Structure formats: structure tokens, C-alpha cells
Amino acid sequence: MIEYRNLRVALLGAGSVGAQVASLLLEHGPELATRAGAGLELVGIAVRDLDAPRTADLPRELFTTDAESLILGADIVIELMGGIEPARTLILQALGSGADVITGNKALLATHGPELFEMAEQVGAQLYYEAAVAGAIPIIRPLRDSLAGDRIKRILGIVNGTTNFILDRMDTAGESLEQALATATDLGYAEKSDPSADIEGFDAAQKTAILASLAFHTTVPLDLVYREGITGVTLAEVEAAKRAGYVVKLLAICERLTDADGVEGVSARVYPALVPRSHPLAAVHGAKNAVFIEAEAAGDLMFYGAGAGGVETASAVLGDLVSAARRHVIGGPGVAESTHANLPILPISHVTTRYQITLSVTDEPGVLASVATLFSEHGVSVEAVTQSVSSSEEGAHPTATLVIGTHEASEAALAATVAALGESAVVSHVTSVLRVEGS
Amino acid sequence: MIEYRNLRVALLGAGSVGAQVASLLLEHGPELATRAGAGLELVGIAVRDLDAPRTADLPRELFTTDAESLILGADIVIELMGGIEPARTLILQALGSGADVITGNKALLATHGPELFEMAEQVGAQLYYEAAVAGAIPIIRPLRDSLAGDRIKRILGIVNGTTNFILDRMDTAGESLEQALATATDLGYAEKSDPSADIEGFDAAQKTAILASLAFHTTVPLDLVYREGITGVTLAEVEAAKRAGYVVKLLAICERLTDADGVEGVSARVYPALVPRSHPLAAVHGAKNAVFIEAEAAGDLMFYGAGAGGVETASAVLGDLVSAARRHVIGGPGVAESTHANLPILPISHVTTRYQITLSVTDEPGVLASVATLFSEHGVSVEAVTQSVSSSEEGAHPTATLVIGTHEASEAALAATVAALGESAVVSHVTSVLRVEGS
């Protein structure tokens, strides 16, 4: 029996996620009310264009273009417009009026998160954002609550479905990057007009900033997240990785580390990396997402599921809505931001990892020795070298391909090594430099 | 800055999990206090035997044999003794005195859960139990909060590490059940004195009851969970499964279903089943656990990690401890039990699934036709038949092996079919009947 008054829910945005949220809220209202302890009344949906086509059939009278008036009377505001403005201003207004806010806006959280959380704290309102990272996968609550008694060492995440789809096509169907991108665009995974948010790693970087902030209780600004996209990944690299027992994945990495000077800090970075085939992340195919967490006590955990999609992401939004409603009814804590640790954010040069470097070299005696010397001069220890079949063009010097796997080395030492390799007389060119993660 | 008074934490039990909880709590006290918003003071550890060896070095003055006195002065009681009594009485006393309780006691929750939750609700205290299912893996909060706005259709869980280890050894190392059990015992995964809680599926059934109750907002009594262990699984079955593209896993299955009479209900069951190699659960090796959730909106999700182990499970307990402490500081909802749906629990005979049946038959014309007729007479539709190499002993009738895969059929129809096969003149014997799940 529900004795609490109805809660007024305002929705901003009716795109693929917003339309599904509205549709599910209208369809499952009574069931959600039972779980929340209060009726949930959708009082309106703010959109830019009243006549735009929608993916769900929604009552026309709910739509309005006047977002500001809509949020004024709301207990809970769901922001699913995306982008920085007017989303930022509307969320600040909503929080300012005492409403709890639910958002899936990763770009906004990654750039203006602290401002929004500060406003929420000042007025005692709550800001929920389960949908902002990894779509339907519950990751915010597990990090914030379930692992609150543990210390997170590292997170390796596949948090962008489009790039995972592309890399998976390259790996399983032998498509080139361009072909795989075209397939992704045809299937609606990639934006036709501008796929750069995905393939350049901007989307993954935003999610990395949010995850790292949460995992390490530290504000991680987006511009301190190191970022490389997948545009430089070649089919030859993917195929060579396959032969060597690896798969190439675009990883969002959040790591607690102590650098050479003994400074404890946080590294947040996004780049394509070699992942051993035996690692659970290697089995994440298609547009699926997964977040792999290494914690001091809990050990290795993985959360897997749909990282995007209207109805899938709507599930995360509605979970937040029920939590927000319960808090209205019973009171108590929501998803507060916690930045008490405030660790320094370390630049990529402080990171150490393993590398796999592919070189095209002159095939003559002494080359391996001189390449090996060059690595050791820069303090990079070689773990394994594979020399593959020589090829030579008519009249040219014969060449060979060297694949060099290193032990853990710093980014700084590696960058110096690669620069020196580029200038070496015996090296024709540096074909590929990839980091190895998850091993 | 922490302004709240210290919270008094009493620990009952100092086995492998309890000792790690105490050790981590003492070691990370200040960090946990910052996250919880209050100091967490371990006021005592109740044990049966003060001189028993412990897996962690803990201050001797904390130990007591007087559990009742210890809980009287506690704000939060952590019960990690296991077993029904005295755990049940002590938890009821703790809740009765207004303390919040954290437990990892699956046997107790599966048998006396409603009594404990009712007491908690009466006095406004909370009962947390993240550690009771799948050890370190956050599963209770995701089910209760993150998916609160969704409808769960089905859960397929690998929730017993010992049996997963055994089945994995059979699959990957070709060991017999007995050999694999011996390996598991040597490595400390299986109880030497009595492995039946694991291999007969009792442990998995307890976790199934807890998961099903939570997922479907319905009290699921342990004795209504259908249970088969792995003792009947042969190496021949595991190898045949491998050839057919399957792996045998002991699954905890919680399913919302509508039976032939249109009755909506819940099925909770545990049995070894064939899982397609392409299913994410097939990649769960060794003693790891994983819970695969199929939700209406969110789609497929999987939670993966360590299902047991002292320090791993301690992570889940400490996560609950921080939640409980936050609730003391800020107030608000904890992990309340919700049984508002109260769906009927359907017996195994109402379940439909696919089957793979292996028969030894007389190798003569017309056998396949008579077997096929027998299936169709019982309303079980055959999807595929494979007849493998005949073998015959000197002087005996030649025999062949038939592997029959069915479409979805009810347990009742299948049981009738298998009974009829057993009586058929052309069937020498029914070698194996396995259900197929996750496809």
C-alpha cells in the first residue's frame, strides 16, 4: 500500500533513451510505484521540436518546448538531452529548486561534474548518473557502495561499443578499419556525420574521467585523461596480435600507481592495447561493454552488458529513478560525490606498462644486437624477440620484421627508445607500437 | 572531517572471512571512516574457542566467548559464524536491540530469511547480505537498486566455485569426476570431510532461493528450489558436450515464467546443464563465479568474480559495513526485503527447456523411426539427431548411439518420454539426459 504523495517527474529530451524512459515509465508505472514507495507521475517532456519523429508512441500533450517551466514544478528531473548547454543550466536550475536530478550526460559530467555535485550538496539534492557510463551495466553503484570497503587498484574498461564493434570486426571478419567503420555506420552503431567522438576516443575518455573520479575519490578533469583513438590501428596489427595470442581493444584505464619518485597518484588513460586472449575482456564481442575491476580484497571482478541502446540505457535511468523516489519517501543518502582522497593525476609519462614494438629492419648480421643495445641504453628490458620472414624488393636491401616484447617500462623510456629507433640506420621504420594490458 | 560519533562494530565469528574482515577493518580504519562518515570501532570478536588458530594476526584482547554481551553494546553486528544456530538467535537479538546486521550466512537466509527481515522491519533496523551470494561479486545491490526500474526475466548463475572448478577440470584436463573432486579437495576448494553441500547442489540451492526472492520480489522457500547436483555427471557426458559445442555447468536458475495454464510464476532450480561455448558463462573457469541476468529493458548483463575466499568475501562485508555506517550518519533506506509481487513458485514440472538425450539403441532398420515416433507421441519435438559409430560385442546385437536434441519441451513431457524410452524394446539404455540453457 502506497501512502506517499505522487512524485512529479520531468523529462528533458526524447531521443532514443528519453523516449524509452517515458514509454517504460508510462507502461510500468504501478509496478515502479510499488518498488519506489510512491507514485511516479510523468508531468512533461521538454523537447526542442514538438514535431520531430520519436521512437516511441507518447501522448502528445506531455510534450513542451518550455523546459524551464517544466522543471520548476518537478520533484525529480531526468536530463537526457546530451551536450553541455542548455543541459548544464537546466540541471543547475533543477538542483537549485531542490529537485533530484538523474542524468546520462557523460560529456557534461566529465567537464562540469564538480560544479554540479557542489550545487547538489549545497541544497541537499541528489545527482544520479548510472546511465552515463556503460549504458545498462550497473557500475556506478557497485563502485560507490559495494566496493566502498575495498581499495581499487585498477579498472580496465571497454566502454565504447562502436570502437569495440569495429575492432571485433577487424579481428573476427578480417575487415579493414574503414570497412568495419562502414559496417558500424550501416548498422547504426557509428554516427554517419561525425564518428570522431567514438573512434578518436573522446567518448571513452569522458567515461574514464567519471570512473576514475569515482574509483579513487579524486576529481579527475577530462583534460588530464590521456587519449589515443583507434584510427591508427591497422588490420596488419590486429592480425599480428591474433597470431601472438592477443586481441586489440580500446581500453579505458584508471589506475592507482606510485611513480618512480614515490608519489602516489591516479592515471586515467584511453588507448588501443593488446589484451591476452585468455583475459575475460577478450571475450567481449560486438558492441558490448565490460568493466574489469582489480580490487585489493575482492580480487578481479567484471561487469558485462549493453553499453548503449535506447531501451537498455533506459533501464539504468529507471533504476536511478526508483532510488531517487525511495529517498524522497524514506530520506537518506543518494549517490554523493566523494573526492576526499584528492590524489594527484599523473601524466602518461609516469605510467609503466609492457609494449610490443614491430620494426622493419635491414636484414644483415649485427642488426639484432644493435637494436637490443638501443633498448638497453634507454633502460627498456626486452622480454622476447621474434624475427619473421624476410622480404626484399628487386635491387633493394633485404629487410626483416622484428617484433619485440618488452618487460614493464615507463612511457618516458619507451618514447625515447622509439625516437632512437626512428633515427637508427638499421631500422627502416617503426611499424607499430602497442601497449599490452591485462596480463 | 568526521563529526559523527564512533560506531561500535561487533564481529561474530573469526573463520577465514571473519578474520579478514577484522584485519582489514583494523588496517584501513581511517580510510573506511572517511568513506562512512563515522569512525568504525571494532569492539570485539565472538568465537567459540579463544585458542583456535586464526588466519590473521588479531589483538588477543578483542576475542570473547560471550557473543550475547558483545552484541548488546553494538551499533552494527557482523555475523560470519555460519550455520543456523546460534547465528539465528544472535541476529534476532542484535536486530531486536536496534543494531544493523551484516551477514554472509546463506544457509540461514535461505531458511529463515523472512523471519529475520520481518524482525528488522519491525524495529527499523537493517539486514545486509551482499556476501551471502557469489562472494566478492556485487550482486545484491545491482539487483535491488540498479535494476529496480526493470523487470528481470531470468538469472543463470554459476554460484558454487567448487563444482565449477570440478566441471572445468573435467572439461579442460579430461579428469573424471572423482579425480577432479580429489584435485579440488587438495587445493582446499572442497571440504574433505563432506563435500556434499557443494557437489549435491545444496549450497547453490540456498543462493538460488536468495537470488530468486530478490529478483522477483517474492519469498522463495528453500524447499521449493528444485535441486540436482553434479554427482551424476560423467566424463563421457562432458566430452560429448564438448564435441557438440557445449560445456557442462552447474547452473542456479531463477526464471519468471507463465505456464501452460497461463499462471505467472517463478521457477527456482539448480542442475547441471549444457551451455553453448559462445555463451559468456562458458568462459567462467576454475572456481570463479558469475551471475548472468536477462532483463526486459537492460538486456543481458553478467557479473563475474571470486565467489569465495576469505579476503575476497571480506570485501563484500566491508562494503555493507560502510553502507550501514552511512545510514547511521545520514539515515535512509538500507537493503530492505521486498516481496510485494508474491508470485507463486512453480514446480519443476512447469518448466520448459531444451534437452539433449543420449541413447544406446539396437542398430537395425526402423529404430530411428520408432524412437522418433515415441518422442512425437509425448509431444516432444526433435530438433536434431546424430547417430554415432556403431559398436558391437562378439555375438551380441550391434548397437548405435543416438544423440537427440529437442526443441523446447516441458519437464513433464520429457519425463514421460524418458520413461517410455526406458521401456522401449529398441533402446538398450538411456545414457544421458541433460538440459540445455543459455541458448
pLDDT at residue B312, rounded to an integer = 94
pLDDT at residue B337, rounded to an integer = 57
Domains and CATH numbers, chain A: 7-135+311-330 (3.40.50.720), 140-307 (3.30.360.10), 351-436 (3.30.70.260)
Q: Mean pLDDT across chain A, nearest whole number?
A: 91
Nine cell digits for residue A128: 544520479
Number of Cβ within 10 Å of residue B314's Cβ equals 32
As for the ipTM of the complex, it is 0.87
* pLDDT tens string B313-322: 999 999 999 9
Number of Cβ within 10 Å of residue A153's Cβ equals 15
| pLDDT > 70 in chain B, percent | 95
pLDDT at residue B46, rounded to an integer = 97
Q: How confident is the model at residue A347 (pLDDT cuts 50, 70, 90)?
A: confident
* pLDDT tens string A113-172: 999 999 998 998 999 999 999 999 999 989 988 898 999 999 999 999 999 999 999 999
- CA atoms of A110 and A85, how far apart (whole Å): 14
pLDDT at residue B157, rounded to an integer = 97
Question: In Å, how far are A55, B357, B404, B415 from B430, measured between CA atoms?
Answer: 52, 8, 11, 12
CB of B305 less than 8 A from some CB of A: yes
The yes-or-no answer on residue A192 being catalytic is no
Distance from CA of B301 to the nearest CA of A (A): 4
Q: How confident is the model at residue A260 (pLDDT cuts 50, 70, 90)?
A: confident
Question: In Å, how far are A79, B37, B67, B214, B222 from B341, measured between CA atoms?
Answer: 30, 35, 37, 11, 18
* pLDDT tens string A38-69: 999 999 999 999 988 887 789 999 999 999 99
- CA atoms of A272 and A170, how far apart (whole Å): 13
Q: Is residue A332 over pLDDT 70? A: no
> Kindly report the CA angle at B95 between B90 and B98, in degrees rounded to 5?
130
Collect all residues with Cβ–Cβ distance below 8 Å to A96 and sequence separation of at least 6. Answer: A119, A123
More confident residue, A133 or B329: A133
| pLDDT > 90 in chain A, percent | 72
Q: Which of A382, A381, A387 is nearest to A358 (CA)?
A: A387
Q: Which of B17, B76, B146 to mutate to test the interface with A (most CBs of A within 10 A)?
A: B146
- CA atoms of A120 and A96, how far apart (whole Å): 8
Question: Phi and psi of B13, rounded to 5°?
Answer: 105, 135
Q: Mean per-residue pLDDT for A3-28? A: 93
Q: How confident is the model at residue A409 (pLDDT cuts 50, 70, 90)?
A: very high
Classify B399 as helix, strand or coil.
Answer: strand
Q: Which of B269, B278, B275, B313 is nearest to B164 (CA)?
A: B275
β-bridge mates for residue B251, sequence order: B271
Q: Is residue B330 over pLDDT 90? A: no
CB of B298 less than 8 A from some CB of A: yes
The C-alpha cell 577432479 sits at: B180
Q: Which of A436, A272, A428 is nearest to A359 (CA)?
A: A428
β-bridge mates for residue A401, sequence order: A360, A388
Task: Give me the helices (H) in B101-158, please.
Answer: 106-123, 140-141
Amino acid letter, B309: G
Distance from CA of B147 to the nearest CA of A (A): 5
Residues of B in contact with A323 (CB under 8 A): 145, 148
Least confident of A120-134, B205-219, B393-407: B393-407
Spell out a b/e string for A407-427, using b for 16 or more CB atoms within 10 Å of the CB, else e. eebbbbbbebbbeebeebebb
CB of A148 less than 8 A from some CB of B: yes
Q: Mean per-residue pLDDT for B58-84? A: 95
* pLDDT tens string B134-153: 999 999 989 988 898 999 99
Sign, Cα dihedral of A123, A88, B144, A254: negative
Q: Is residue A2 over pLDDT 80? A: no
Sign, Cα dihedral of B10, B14, B16, B22: positive
pLDDT at residue A392, rounded to an integer = 57
* pLDDT tens string B288-303: 999 999 999 999 999 9
Sign, Cα dihedral of B416, B422, B425, B430: positive
Task: Please give, one letter per residue, the 3-state secondary structure of A321-374.
Answer: HHHHHHHHHHCCCCCCCCCCCCCCECCHHHCEEEEEEEEEEECCCCHHHHHHHH
Using CA coordinates, name the residue in chain B closest to A331. Answer: B332
pLDDT at residue B331, rounded to an integer = 67
Confirm whether residue A15 is marked as ligand binding. yes
- CA atoms of B237 and B176, how far apart (whole Å): 11
Amino acid letter, B436: V
> Kindly report the CA angle at B58 between B55 and B59, in degrees rounded to 5?
160
Interface of A with B in 316-335 (CB under 8 A): 316-323, 326-327, 330-333
Q: Is residue B439 over pLDDT 80? A: no
Classify B123 as helix, strand or coil.
Answer: helix
Q: Which of A141, A211, A301, A143 is nearest to B137 (CA)?
A: A301
Classify A229 as helix, strand or coil.
Answer: coil
Q: Mean per-residue pLDDT for B365-390? A: 87
Q: Is residue B332 over pLDDT 70? A: no
* pLDDT tens string A89-106: 999 999 999 999 999 999
Q: Mean per-residue pLDDT for A213-233? A: 94
Give the CA-trace dihedral at A24, A30, A33, A34, to 10 degrees: -130
More confident residue, A326 or A107: A107
Nine cell digits for residue A311: 531501451
Q: How confident is the model at residue A189 (pLDDT cuts 50, 70, 90)?
A: confident
Q: How confident is the model at residue A5 (pLDDT cuts 50, 70, 90)?
A: confident
Contact across the interface for A318 and B148, Cβ inside 8 Å: yes
Interface of B with A in 372-431 (CB under 8 A): none
Q: Is B186 exposed, middle or buried (0-12, 13-18, 19+ CB in 10 A)?
A: exposed
Distance from CA of B331 to the nearest CA of A (A): 5
Question: Phi and psi of B369, rounded to 5°?
Answer: -65, -40
First to last CA, chain A: 53
